[in-house]
Structure 1
Amino acid sequence: MTADLTASDLEEAGAVLAAEAARFASFGWMRGTSGNLSVVLTRDPLRLAVTASGHDKGELTPADVVLVDGNGAAVHEGKPSAEAELHARVAALTGAGAVVHVHTVASVALGHRHPGGIVFKDIEMLKGVGQPAHDVEVTLPVIANSQDMKVLGDRLEAAREPRMPAVVVAGHGLYVWGDTPRQARHHTEVVEWLLELELTRR
């Protein structure tokens, strides 16, 4: 590990992420090996536990995480998700303590339909992301996909709406964040609910 982190710290984070992944997989949001999760372990230097690449997200164990640095590179052994760099970028940019990436049908479908962003207004569930239910219009940003995480991170930074802890990557899925894994989970469930509502309206 590092001077400030131990193997038990990483295992504890892995147990939390495994439980969160199992929950999302049960909803059909992390089918097969799709999606990835992370939690920040230290800020200075930035270190995150990120789910390992190529694992069924419904069957993760506490050992199925990799410690990565602020560039998303593995600090020791292990192969993190290919999107670990973007998780690190989101954590650094937003101050989030946890990041969730899921592949939901609603996020992909609406990302195609609304490339300029998805607008929500006068919906009670907006309270779940800290916004008033009425008289406020909030846009969930949509950005074009890229296999280059630096490019994708730049697009996310340029499009980010501080009132909405999430962004849709067109043709790919949904990134959501929060102060803790639990808050990131709640934000993910709320934003996905909003997306599903918008999808049924159309």
Structure 2
Amino acid sequence: MTTTLEQRLDAFRRLDDAKLTFARRDWFPGTSGNLSIKLTDQPLQFAVTASGKDKTKLSPEDYLVVDGDARPVEATSLKPSAETLIHAVVYKKFPQAGACFHVHTVWNNLISELYFGQRAFSIQGQELIKGLGIWEENARIAVPIVENFADIPKLAKAIEKVITPEIPGVLIRNHGIYAWGANDFEAKRHLESFEFLFEYHVRWLQLHQAAVPTA
């Protein structure tokens, strides 16, 4: 199945919306982060952010289309984001996924470092867990955390081993989070829910520590 120009432009417009929303929250420091929206399953093709772009601005060369091996599907001077292979892993493992977003925040970095020894961050009973599509009472989630391997294929394989359909996200130690959903709306909701939970927990730890009396 070949994507049409109209499909591509629609995906680029939706990526613009997500990008500017997250940029206003300072979730792309130093041109970090990457976003993608799937176009087709057979063959796998998706629109993804180009490498090294200022994500607080819009330009005609912000995105390109790549295949399941993270290679551009047509000749272009643009390079896909360095971690595009991780998006491909998500789409291959979860065919129902239609968008995948990656951001760097202070909160997700702190959580990934604090709980790396447990290889997961667990939290229970928070209302925003429902934002992940988990509605059971007093639900508990465990977000997997992987080491921040510089070798991207190695990092992608580590992520592939730990991600599950139940939790639409994965943390990379001192790096950031990948979150996905059936479409860009759902992926955005999942990402926002994760970030709320991370910030809440770090702030709770800070308040709890401050309240503990010293001997």
In structure 1, what is the Cα distance between the partners aligned to 2:140 and 2:190?
17
Paired residue type of 1:70: G
Which shows bigger deviation, 60-69 or 47-56?
60-69
Which shows bigger deviation, 93-102 or 147-156?
147-156
TM-score between both structures, scaled by the size of structure 2: 0.88
Which shows bigger deviation, 148-157 or 165-174?
148-157
Picking from 154, 160, 163, the partner of 2:163 is: 160
Q: Which residue of the partner structure matches residue 121 of structure 2?
A: 118
Query: Secondary structure of the equivalent of 1:109?
Result: helix
Q: Which residue of the partner structure matches residue 135 of structure 2?
A: 132
Contact 1:118–1:139 at 8 Å: present in 2 too? yes
* 1:127-161 CA-partner distances (Å, limit 9, x unpaired): 11011353332101111011222211221122224
**Structure 1 stretches of 4+ moved >4 Å:** none
Is it true that 1:177 corresponds to 2:180 in the alignment? Answer: yes
Q: 1:126 to 1:193 in 2, by over 3 A?
A: same
Which shows bigger deviation, 39-48 or 117-126?
117-126
In structure 1, what is the Cα distance between the partners aligned to 2:186 and 2:168?
10
Q: Which residue of the partner structure matches residue 9 of structure 2?
A: 11
Q: Which residue of the partner structure matches residue 35 of structure 2?
A: 37
Contact 2:168–2:180 at 8 Å: present in 1 too? yes
Query: Secondary structure of the equivalent of 1:156?
Result: helix
Query: Secondary structure of the equivalent of 1:142?
Result: strand
In structure 2, what is the Cα distance between the partners aligned to 1:144 and 1:60?
32
In structure 2, what is the Cα distance between the partners aligned to 1:84 and 1:199?
29
Deviation at residue 63 of structure 1 after TM alignment: 4.1
Gaps of 5+ in 1: none
Gaps of 5+ in 2: 206-215
Query: Secondary structure of the equivalent of 1:182?
Result: helix
Residues paired across the two proteins, number: 200
In structure 2, what is the Cα distance between the partners aligned to 1:59 and 1:94?
31
Deviation at residue 124 of structure 1 after TM alignment: 1.1
Q: Which residue of the partner structure matches residue 101 of structure 1?
A: 102
Paired residue type of 2:182: D
* 1:60-88 CA-partner distances (Å, limit 9, x unpaired): 34541111000111111121111111111
Which shows bigger deviation, 10-19 or 110-119?
10-19
Please provide the CA RMSD for this pair. 1.4
Query: Percent identity of the aligned residues?
Result: 35
Q: Which residue of the partner structure matches residue 24 of structure 1?
A: 22
Query: Secondary structure of the equivalent of 2:148?
Result: coil
Query: Secondary structure of the equivalent of 2:31?
Result: coil
In structure 2, what is the Cα distance between the partners aligned to 1:168 and 1:152?
11
Contact 2:129–2:139 at 8 Å: present in 1 too? no
Which shows bigger deviation, 35-44 or 7-16?
7-16
Picking from 62, 65, 69, the partner of 2:63 is: 65
